[in-house]
Amino acid sequence: MATARLFRPSGTERNLQGVALIALLTAGLAFGAVVSAQGQHLLARRSDPLKASSSREAREDAIRSIPLDKLTGDAQATVKSVLSNVSIYRRMPVQAIQCDPEMYLFLVRHPDVVVNIWQVLGITQVSLTQVDADCYRLTDSAGTEGTVRLLYQSQDTHLIYTEGKYEGPFSTKPTHGRVVLLLKTGYVRQSDGQCLITVRLDTFMQVEPGGVEVFTKTFQPIMGKIADINFAQTIGFVGSLSRTAEVNCRGVQRLASKLSSVQPAVRDHFADLAQRVAEKAAAVEPQDGNRDVPLIAGSVEESSIR
């Protein structure tokens, strides 16, 4: 039987510190444009989407694509409050993975599963606990604690809000921060039958007055690159987990049985999903010709990642 090894984020990149890095962790859990031939035109129409950006153009583009009209009144007020006073904005380099769409969406919407897998593998000290349907409590061993809440979800858009504080050696007093994350996703069925998923993340970070100076001097010079690496590695982990389920379903189900920090229903869903991913992979037939086929109407159009 074919086997697959899970991709593991390296120790340096996952050892993130500080309240602002709550955003980076959340991004990694969830956490496009390196695309198939049909999506290549997107690259030509953007200013190098393979590189991170903090430009005004990227920021305004991201704000326009936030589905404010689909949020509750309280959620709208929260997002607008962060956007009105952004300390740092960053659009991370887009990523592309081969991944089952159902597996991808499950892991984005249940980040505690990813964190618990990392705990089982011994590669993180972070704890993420579900406290209600769309909210998680986050702590680590380095002075960061906070909440992560999913404000909006669809097949191609997820809006996430985090707030928390950092108290530790990198700050002389507790530093509070709030973050809005916009995750955009496109899906393409390639001619070989595999699904290519493209992912882009925009991060809007607000640090409380008095904490901005400390944060800027201490974290900003290194935060961007660490964020990019963390995002890329975790998206790679999601793709690796999906491919492992395709060829070693029982192994993933055994892993699911070891997840003690997620709700039993979520754990069971993950095990069942691994079975479905394997069955779908076995039934996939390559498309005729070389044309890639969108899995979601319009998913390879520019609107899918705007």
132 CB neighbour count, 10 Å cutoff: 7
Rounded to two decimals, what is the model's pTM? 0.80
Cα separation, 172 vs 186, in Å, equals 42
Q: What is the pLDDT of residues 28-54, one digit of tens each?
A: 443 322 222 223 333 334 455 568 888
Q: Which long-range contacts (CB under 8 A, 24 or more apart) does 133-142 make?
A: 136/111, 136/112, 138/22, 138/25, 138/26, 138/162, 138/164, 140/25, 142/15, 142/17, 142/168
As a whole-number percent, the residues of the chain with pLDDT over 70 amount to 70
Q: What is the pLDDT of residues 122-139, one digit of tens each?
A: 888 888 899 998 999 988
Q: Which residue has the tokens 């049985």?
A: 257
pLDDT reading at 160 higher than 80:
yes
pLDDT greater at residue 151 or residue 12: 151
CA distances from 255 to 51, 151, 227, 304 (A): 35, 29, 27, 33
Residue 284: band (very low, low, confident or very high) from pLDDT cuts 50, 70, 90: confident
Q: Which long-range contacts (CB under 8 A, 24 or more apart) does 74-83 make?
A: 75/151, 75/152, 75/161, 78/151, 78/161, 79/151, 79/159, 79/161, 79/180, 81/178, 81/206, 82/161, 82/178, 82/179, 82/180, 82/204, 82/206, 83/180, 83/204
Return the domain boundaries, the chain.
Answer: 13-297
Query: What's the pLDDT at 50?
Result: 67
- What's the topology of domain 13-297? Alpha-D-Glucose-1,6-Bisphosphate; Chain A, domain 4 (3.30.530)
Specify the amino acid at residue 179. V
Query: What's the pLDDT at 79?
Result: 97
Q: What is the pLDDT of residues 201-245, one digit of tens each?
A: 999 988 877 655 555 555 665 667 777 888 888 889 999 999 999
